[in-house]
């Protein structure tokens, strides 16, 4: 596996992608607008107007902006004297000592200087970013010169799975008189883990469509603790035609089973299973369930029946835990 070079610019590219995501870069409402009516209807990044930079790339100075305005350059009044700044620096890098694997842990410090009135918006942006990436591994591409040991074989893209953890935003300094107004110095520590591009728990989602007494229902993105899938073949030994002392095997049929473990959340499918198990009054042992398992971008749909369902109520955690085994129904022709 090719080793990738971790630079401040690469980490900045990753974090800016998170901050600019449409689910994070929210539109400011009346509640967030504070006293300034100019903020309403704009995105949080428009109003924060933060110039992100590393030590290699200095931000635009106030004088440069004013000179551009004087030269009739395209002008946005929020980009002049309402500029904020953020310096990204890497504080630590730890790489797995391995010939074949490339896993890297990076600690990053973001140092913000923003107008006092915008601190609330920055806090909300960081919290939206933290919630948005929690529990996810997402793709990040290292391109060309970001490879270690540069040579012709390293041209192109090397993909990694990234996991990001945001710390707490803390105040470090107050600057009452600056060309940009009263500003606050804020710091936040961010940890980034880069993994090889392998499938993980976050790449799997499960959904169910089933019928109960109220009719047809669907539960999307079932919260699972673990998934086990087994495809087992039934075989028969066949003697070798030239030497019947030796045998080979042929597969006659195959069966697929799914074992799902999950906590007793309050949703329709778990309530359906609990009612069926606790009532001990099953009228149809072959009630079909439409089960869709998504792995990355591919979805696999099967008609399944319940093989067994086990409920455990734990005294130590206090949680109700379910173990559900599903097998393909005879009505599942496998052509979906």
pTM value > 0.85 = no
E strand residue ranges, the chain: 50-53, 84-95, 104-115, 138-143, 157-166, 170-175, 183-195, 204-212, 215-219, 226-239, 247-263, 289-295, 298-313, 320-328
- When comparing pLDDT for 147 and 81, which is higher? 81
Residue 335 in any domain: the answer is no
* Whether residue 245 sits in one domain with residue 182: no
For residue 61, the number of C-alpha atoms closer than 13 Å in the C-beta half-sphere is 3
Model confidence pLDDT, tens digit, residues 204-219: 999 999 988 888 999 9
Residues 223, 323 share a domain: yes
Same domain, 162 and 21: yes
Q: How far is CA 55 from CA 26, 52, 75, 88, 164, in A?
A: 29, 10, 27, 8, 22
Provide the number of structural domains found in the chain. 2
Residue 306: pLDDT over 70: yes
333 within some domain: no
The verdict on 205 and 135 lying in the same domain is no
Pair 57, 191 in one domain: yes
Q: What is the pLDDT of residues 53-82, one digit of tens each?
A: 887 656 556 666 667 666 665 555 445 567
Please state the rounded mean pLDDT for residues 33-58.
78
pLDDT digits (tens, 9 = 90+) for 122-145: 999 999 999 999 988 888 888 765
Q: Which of 106-110, 184-188, 250-254 is predicted with the least confidence, judged by mean pLDDT?
A: 250-254
Which of 195, 217, 236 is the last residue before a domain boundary? 195
* Domain finish residue from 195, 211, 229: 195
Judge if 257 and 113 occupy the same domain: no
Kindly state whether residue 174 falls inside one of the protein's structural domains: yes
DSSP string, 113-174: EEEGGGHHHHHHHHHHHHHHHTT--EEEEEEGGGBSS-SGGG-SEEEEEEEEEE---EEEEE
Q: CA angle at residue 47 from 44 to 49, to 5 degrees? A: 105
Query: Could you tell me which of 51, 106, 107 has the C-alpha nearest to residue 78?
Result: 51
Sign of the dihedral through C-alpha 281, 286, 290, 292 = positive
In order, the DSSP letters of 78-114 are GGSTT-EEEEEEEEEEEE---SS---EEEEEEEEEEE
**Helix, coil or strand: residue 276:** helix
Could you tell me the pLDDT band of residue 90, with boundaries at 50, 70 and 90? very high
pLDDT at 288 over 50: yes
Q: What average pLDDT does this structure show over 306-323?
A: 89
- Nearest-angstrom CA–CA distance, 173 and 187: 10
Residue 272, number of CB atoms within 10 A of its CB: 20
Residues 154 and 260 both lie in one domain: no
30, part of any domain: yes
Report the relative pairing of strands 226-239 and 247-263 from DSSP bridges.
antiparallel
Exposed, middle or buried by CB within 10 Å (0-12, 13-18, 19+), for 180? middle
Last residue within a domain, chosen from 158, 173, 195? 195
Q: Are 172 and 254 in the same domain?
A: no
Whether residue 221 is found in the same domain as residue 307: yes
- Residue in this structure with the two tokens 């209807």, named with its chain if needed: 41
Residues 100 and 228 in one domain: no
Question: Does residue 87 register a pLDDT over 80?
Answer: yes
Using the Cα atoms of residue 19, residue 25, residue 28 and residue 32 in order, give the sign of their dihedral: negative
CATH number, domain with residue 124: 3.30.2000
Q: How does the average pLDDT of the chain come out, rounded?
A: 84
CB 280, CB 187: distance < 8 Å: no
> What is d(CA 76, CA 83) in angstroms, rounded to the nearest whole number?
11
Q: Is residue 190 part of a domain?
A: yes
**Whether residues 238 and 180 fall in one domain:** no
Question: So what's the pLDDT on residue 16?
Answer: 93
The CATH number assigned to the domain holding 235 equals 2.40.30
> Does 299 share its domain with 236?
yes
**Range(s) of the domain holding residue 167:** 8-195
For residue range 165-194, list pLDDT tens digits in order: 999 999 888 877 777 778 899 999 999 999
Q: How confident is the model at residue 150 (pLDDT cuts 50, 70, 90)?
A: very low
């Amino acid at each position: 596996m090719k080793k990738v070079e971790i630079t401040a610019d690469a980490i900045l590219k990753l974090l800016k992608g998170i901050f600019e995501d449409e689910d994070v870069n929210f539109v400011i409402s009346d509640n967030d607008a504070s006293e300034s009516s100019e903020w309403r209807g704009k995105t949080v990044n428009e109003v924060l107007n933060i110039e992100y930079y590393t030590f290699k790339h200095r931000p635009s100075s106030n004088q440069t902006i004013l000179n551009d305005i004087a030269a009739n350059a395209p002008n946005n009044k929020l980009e002049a004297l309402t500029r904020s700044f953020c310096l990204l620096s890497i504080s630590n890098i730890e790489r797995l000592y391995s010939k074949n694997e490339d896993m890297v842990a990076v600690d990053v410090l973001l140092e913000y200087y923003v107008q006092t009135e915008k601190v609330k918006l920055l806090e909300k942006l960081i919290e939206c970013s933290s919630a948005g990436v929690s529990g996810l591994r997402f793709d990040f591409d290292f391109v060309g010169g970001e490879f270690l040991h540069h040579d012709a074989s390293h041209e192109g893209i090397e993909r990694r799975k990234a996991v990001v953890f945001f710390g707490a935003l803390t105040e470090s300094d107050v600057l009452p008189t600056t060309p940009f107004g009263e500003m606050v110095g804020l710091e936040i520590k961010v940890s980034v883990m880069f993994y090889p591009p392998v499938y993980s728990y976050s790449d799997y989602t499960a959904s169910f469509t089933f019928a109960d007494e109220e009719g047809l229902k669907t539960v999307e993105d079932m919260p699972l603790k673990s998934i086990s899938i087994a495809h087992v073949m039934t075989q028969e030994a066949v003697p070798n035609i030239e030497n019947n002392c030796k045998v080979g095997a042929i597969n006659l049929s195959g069966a697929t089973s799914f074992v799902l473990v999950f906590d007793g959340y309050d949703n329709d499918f778990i309530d359906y299973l609990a009612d069926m198990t606790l009532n001990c009054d099953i009228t149809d042992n072959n009630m079909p369930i439409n089960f869709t398992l998504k792995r990355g971008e591919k979805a696999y749909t099967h008609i399944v029946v319940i093989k067994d369902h086990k409920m455990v109520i734990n005294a130590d955690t206090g949680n109700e835990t379910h173990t559900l085994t599903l097998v393909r129904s005879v009505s599942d022709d496998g052509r979906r």
